[in-house]
């Protein structure tokens, strides 16, 4: 049996780790971010977490690690989302090649 509260607490600790590594190095740790995303997706698939809960967790963790809301942090860092970045697949944007 899955302990819902423990699973969400673990998700929060993963996100704290991701944000602290990002805050301290200035580089988003892609592997840890993917781990967080996968874990969150699994919890949502198992209906142990919903989208509003996930958004609240992200917002609370932003406050805890950066001492500002996600919106404030985006404004301060001027990292406004640019949807055109998703016009090509991630592997293309990252300069990777696929060999068949």
CA dihedral 79, 27, 44, 51 (to 10 degrees): -20
100 lies in some domain: no
Distances (CA, A) of 38 to 46, 48, 61, 100: 12, 14, 18, 27
Task: Give the end-to-end CA distance of the chain in Å, rounded to a whole number.
Answer: 42
98 lies in some domain: no
50 lies in some domain: yes
Radius of gyration of the chain (CA): 16
How many structural domains does the chain have? 1
99 lies in some domain: no
Digitized pLDDT (tens) for each residue of the chain, 100 residues in all: 678 899 999 999 999 999 999 999 988 898 999 999 999 999 999 999 999 999 999 999 999 999 998 888 877 776 555 555 556 666 666 777 777 6
* Residues spanned by the domain of 59: 4-93
29 lies in some domain: yes
Q: Contact, 64 vs 49, CB < 8 A?
A: no
27 lies in some domain: yes
15 lies in some domain: yes
25 lies in some domain: yes
């Amino acid at each position: 049996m899955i302990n819902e509260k423990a699973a969400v607490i673990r998700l929060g600790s993963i996100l704290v780790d991701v944000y602290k590594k990002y805050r301290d190095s200035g580089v988003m740790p892609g592997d840890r971010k993917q781990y967080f995303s996968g874990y969150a997706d699994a919890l949502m698939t198992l209906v142990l977490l919903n989208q509003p809960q996930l958004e609240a967790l992200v917002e609370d963790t932003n406050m805890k690690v950066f001492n500002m809301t996600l919106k404030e942090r985006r404004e301060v860092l001027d990292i406004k989302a640019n949807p055109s970045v998703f016009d090509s697949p991630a592997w293309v944007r990252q300069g990777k090649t696929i060999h068949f």
